[in-house]
Amino acid sequence: MKVNQLLFVFFILMGFKAYSQIPADYLPKDFHESRREALRAKMPTNSVAVIFANPLRNRANDVDFVFHQDPNFYYLTGYREPNGVLVLFSDMQQTEDGKTYNEMLFVQKKDKRAEQWDGKRLGIEGAKSELGFNRVMNGEDFKSANINFKAFDRVFIEKFNDDYRNSARNKGEIYDLVKAFKEQANYNPKNFLSPLKKQIYELVKSTPIENSANVAQIIGRALAYDPSLKSDTDLMNFKDATEIAVKKDLKEKITLKLDAKTNIDVSFLSNNLATLREVKTAAELKLLTKAIRISAVGQIEVMKAMKPHMSETELQGIHEFVYKKYGAEYEGYPSIVGAGNNGCILHYIENNKTKVGNDLVLMDLGAEYRGYTADVTRTIPANGKFTKEQKAIYNIVLEAQNAGIAAYKIGESMAKPNQIARAIVNKGLFDLGIIKSKDEKHPYFPHGTSHHIGLDVHDPGNYGNFEEHMVVTMEPGIYIPEGSNCDKKWWGIGIRIEDDILVTKNGPVNLSEGAPRTVKAIEKMMAKKSVLDDFVLPNLDE
Ligand code: GLY
Ligand code: MN
Ligand code: MN
C-alpha cells in the first residue's frame, strides 16, 4: 500500500473512532463465545438450551425503566438489547441447503423509526460482526424458524416468571417469543418440577425413612421460601406424617413424581451457569476490579465531603457522581444510605432523611461497570468522630470481618467466614452486656456474610468450597434498632462493613481495601478537605 493510501485508511479509522465514541472495554466477543462453548460442553447429546433476553419494563405511561440485560443472557451473548433469544445446540445442526450451525441468535429487527426514538439496534449484521454469531435472525422470525424442540431429548430453559407484558409494539417482543416457544415445545409446567421441588423430591428419595424428621424440617424451611409448595398435598402430608407406614407410602408416591414427563428441564441451566459464573475469568476480573475500585473511591470522596447538615439523598448523589465520573453506567443495586436507625434496615433504599445529623451513616453502594457490580459498605460518623458506643460496636464488626476474610482460602468451606464472624459478634455483644449469653438467639446480626458478586450483585454459585478467582463479599453487621431489648445507649446503631474479596493461590485479596476501614483511618480521611466543601448551589426555597 502506498503512503497516501495508508494515510487514507488511517483517517477513515480515526474518523470512525471519533464517530463511535462509546466505551471500548466491554467484554470481547471471544469471551462470550468461550462461555457458550463451556456451557455446550456440559450439555448431553441431542439437547438444546433456549435462553431469553430481558424484556423492556414499563415505568409509567409511555416511559420504560432503563433497560438492563438478563445476566445469563449477557454472559453467553454480549447482546445488550431487549427481546433476544439464544438457542444453543449440543450437536451440529444442518440447514436444508447443507449449512451447519450449533447456535442461533434472534435479535431486534433494524427499524429506522424505532431507532430514531429509542436508540440504535445491532440488527442481524451488527450481531454477526460485533458479537461473532454466524446464524442470526430477527426475533419476529423465531416462530417461523420452526425449531423442532420436541425432537430433542432435553430442552433446557430457565424458569419463566411470566412477568412481561404484551405492549404490542412489535411482533418480536419477549412476550411473543416466549409464547411461540411454549407452543412449539409443548410447554406445560404441570409436567415438570421446579428446581426447588426437584431438590426436595430427591432428598425425600435418598433419605432413609428413619431420618425423615430432618427432611420434614428442610421442607418447612423451603415453605417459607416458596409458599406455593403448600399446594403439594403429598409433600405436606409427608412433612406432617408421624406413622412410618404412611411416610413410606408417601415417599413412594413422591419418588414416582421424579420421573420426567417432558423433555423440558428448568434446573440444568441455573445449576450449570452457576458453576461457570462463580469462577471469574481474567477478562471478568478486570471489569469487576474496576467496578470495586470505583466504589471504594466513592466511599473516600463521601468520607471527605460528609457534613451533619447533608441529606441521605445528597450523600447518595456524591457516590453515584463518582461512579459516573469513571464512566460506570449504573448502580449495581439500589443504593443504601441510612443514618442512625435507618442503618438498621437492611435494604433501606428510601434514603430520604433530610439531615444525617450526628448519627452513624451506613452506606452500601456498588458501581456497575460494563455489567459487573461491586458491593461495598462503609459505616461512618456524620460529624467525623465515633462516639465510645459506636466505636465499641464498630470494632466488633471489624474484628469479625478481618477474621472472616482470613478464611477465604482455596478449599475452605464458604460457610466458614459466616461461622467465624458470628462467634466474634456474639462474644462482643455478650461482653458489652447487649445479649445475656453467647448462645442466645438474637436479632442483631440477621444476615449471612458471603455471596458471590459479578454480573449480579448476588451472583449465582454453588456455595461449596472457595475456588481460585471467586470474588465473594465479606459483610458482617450489627444492627440495634430503637426499642431493642438492651440499654438505650446502643439504640440506633447500625453498622455493616462489606468488602469484596478475591480468592487467590496466595490467599485473600481485598479488592475494596482502598476505602478506609479502621476507626482511625476513617476519622483521618473524614478530617480531610473535600472539593465539594466549596460547591454551594443557590437556595431555591427563599
Ligand atoms: N447490597 C446488598 C448486599 O450487601 O447483599
Ligand atoms: Mn453484599
Ligand atoms: Mn452490600
Cα separation of 445 and 447, whole Å? 6
Q: What are the sequence ranges of the domains in the chain? A: 22-190, 193-261, 278-526
Residue 35: what pLDDT? 98
Question: Is residue 459 scored above 50 in pLDDT?
Answer: yes
3-state secondary structure labels for all residues of 298-334: HHHHHHHHCCCCCCHHHHHHHHHHHHHHCCCCEECCC
pLDDT at 453 over 60: yes
CATH fourth-level superfamily of 278-526: Creatinase/methionine aminopeptidase superfamily (3.90.230.10)
Amino acid at 302: V
- Cα distances from 311 to residues 68, 314, 379, in angstroms, run 29, 5, 15
For residue 48, pLDDT beyond 70? yes
| Residue 101, number of CB atoms within 10 A of its CB | 14
Closest CA relative to residue 367, chosen from 317, 321, 328, 313: 328
Burial of 311: CB neighbours in 10 Å, binned 0-12, 13-18, 19+? middle
Q: 457: Cβ below 6 Å to ligand 1?
A: yes
For cell 426514538, name the residue.
Answer: 117
| Residue 129 phi, psi (nearest 5) | -75, -40
- What CA–CA distance (Å, rounded) separates 321 from 233? 53
Type of residue numbered 197? K
Q: Is the CB of 500 under 6 A from ligand 1?
A: no
- Residue 534: other Cβ atoms inside 10 A: 7
> What ligand 1 atom has the least distance to the C-alpha of 498?
4
Task: Give the model's confidence band at 466: pLDDT under 50 very low, under 70 low, under 90 confident, else very high.
Answer: very high
Cα 459 vs. chain centroid, distance in angstroms? 4
Give percent above pLDDT 70 in the chain: 96
Q: Any idea which residue has 428413619 for its cell?
A: 210
Say if pTM beats, i.e. exceeds, 0.75.
yes
Select from 292, 337, 346, 364 the residue to mutate for testing ligand 1; criterion: most ligand atoms less than 8 Å from CB: 364
Distance 502 CA to ligand 2 centre (A): 14
Is the minimum distance from the CB of 81 to ligand 1 under 6 angstroms? no
For residue 3, the model assigns a pLDDT of: 55
> Grid coordinates 456524620 are at which residue?
382
Question: Would you say the CB of residue 475 lies under 6 angstroms from ligand 1?
Answer: yes
Q: 515: pLDDT confidence band, cut at 50, 70 and 90?
A: very high
Confidence band, pLDDT 50/70/90 cuts, at residue 6: low
Nearest residue by C-alpha to atom 4 in ligand 1: 375
What is each CA distance from 389 to 69, 177, 395, 495, in whole angstroms? Answer: 44, 57, 10, 12
Residue 16 scores a pLDDT above 50 = no
CATH code, 22-190 = 3.40.350.10
Which residues make up the environment of ion ligand 3, defined by Cβ < 5 Å?
364, 375, 498
Contact 348 CB / ligand 1 (< 6 Å): no
Q: Which pLDDT score, from 0 to 100, does residue 18 have?
A: 44
Q: Confirm whether 22-190 and 278-526 share one CATH topology.
A: no
Q: State the cell numbers at 494.
A: 447500625
